[in-house]
Amino acid sequence: FSVETELRRAIENGDMTLSYQPIWDLGSGRIVSFEALARWTNEEGVALSPNDFIPVAEESGLIVPLGRWAMEQAALTLATWDRRVGGDCGVKVAVNLSAIQLQRDRIPEMVQAALEQAGIAGSRLTLELTESAIVSDPDRISRTMMALKDLGATLAMDDFGTGYSNLAYLQKLPIDLLKIDRSFISGMLADRDKIAIVRAVLSLAQALGMQTTAEGIETNELAQTLAALGCTYGQGYLYAQPLVETDAYALLAARN
């Protein structure tokens, strides 16, 4: 069958799942959120990377149902965790929105419906957008982002520094958080240029009143250096890989 047929089926039959990777406060070490990352094991038992199937979903338009499914699942997972602790479990969930999805779906309505279905406040949600979403239609994205802020969501710029956008949008759009791309973080301690870029991004974010997450932290030394440089949050294999829901909850219960 076509990949599209398989993708549609995977969403329906449960072969598509979400993994959750913790994001922690570099100062206190506490987990502040989990990023929901799509995982697909196909009928032959092969694990497919989102880097491969998200582009296919975008080309075929299936990114709309896939994106809705991911948003609903992530909200329901957070609701489950809240129920287990008998209140606010203390973390947010971060959901990725692709540029094409932002063009094709009514995102604020979709997000609000998922929050209501799960019974989760908008303040418990972080939405991760990429610069390509902004380049494609700045006016539309601006309205969408304002509406998402009205729901109480935190808005993060994902893969910051790897896009082709100009920086003027940082001033115009309601962005709360910059996620510094892994390509600048990994190997940074041995690379003066990478450190210079990371410092500049941290200083820019501070000046604009934004928080920062460093992606791809794999060593303690990196975590300590980034904390000393003033980076707010960290994400990476040092703390945990993306985990199945039950393991993510167990980690949260054990650490926080």
User: Quick check: 158 binds Mn ion (CB under 5 A)?
Assistant: yes
Q: How far is the CB of 98 from ligand G (least distance, A)?
A: 4
Q: Choose which of 159, 202, 231, 248 interacts with ligand G (CB under 6 A).
A: 159
User: Quick check: 236 binds ligand G (CB under 6 A)?
Assistant: yes
**How far is it, in rounded angstroms, from Cα 89 to Cα 138?**
35
Q: Choose which of 19, 96, 126, 144 interacts with Na ion (CB under 5 A).
A: 96
Q: What sign results for the dihedral spanned by CA atoms 55, 59, 62, 67?
A: positive
User: Quick check: 159 binds Mn ion (CB under 5 A)?
Assistant: yes
- Binding part of the chain for Mn ion, among 29-37, 70-78, 132-140, 155-163 by CB under 5 A, reads 155-163
Which amino acid, residue 194?
K
Count of residues in the chain: 256
Specify the residue for token string 């993994």.
19
User: Quick check: 122 binds ligand G (CB under 6 A)?
Assistant: no
Q: Choose which of 73, 77, 96, 126 interacts with ligand G (CB under 6 A).
A: 96
Considering the complex, state which of residue 34 and residue 81 has its C-beta at the smaller distance from ligand G.
34
Q: Choose which of 16, 54, 78, 93 interacts with ligand G (CB under 6 A).
A: 54
User: Quick check: 33 binds ligand G (CB under 6 A)?
Assistant: no
- Interacting partner of 80 out of Mn ion, ligand G, Na ion, none (Cβ under 5 to 8 A depending on kind): none
Interacting residues toward ligand G by CB under 6 A: 21, 37-38, 49-51, 54, 70, 96, 98, 158-159, 182, 215-218, 235-237, 242
Interacting residues toward Mn ion by CB under 5 A: 158-159
Interacting residues toward Na ion by CB under 5 A: 96, 128, 158
